[in-house]
Amino acid sequence: MFSLVAAHTWLDLETVAQLASGSAEVSETVSTDAVAGVVTLSTCNRVEIYAEAGSPQNVEQASKEILRTIAKTTDMPYDHVAAAFKLYRNDAAVRHLFEVGSGL
């Protein structure tokens, strides 16, 4: 499991909103063997994408596929989208999910 997180603490709210609009359909749009499943959490302050890679070795490829999908749906450059998100893996992703869940 891994997560991609973009938040107001390091981005302006306009960028967060733009990323949120592009991530709304990621679970239906991403079609690759690298991504086994995707769930998106979006609030006014953050966009979080929790996903399962097809295998532990595919986390980098899976995250890039998700980021490419967001870049395509937002018409934002891939590099800009990739720089906006932080990648959390394995236990760090689970820990972050519980921190966010308890904070909401």
Burial degree of 87 (CB within 10 A; 0-12, 13-18, 19+): middle
Among the listed residues 12, 28, 31, 44, the single catalytic one is 44
Tell me if residue 84 is catalytic: no
Strand ranges (DSSP E) for 11-100? Answer: 35-42, 46-53, 86-89
Q: Mind telling me the catalytic residues?
A: 44
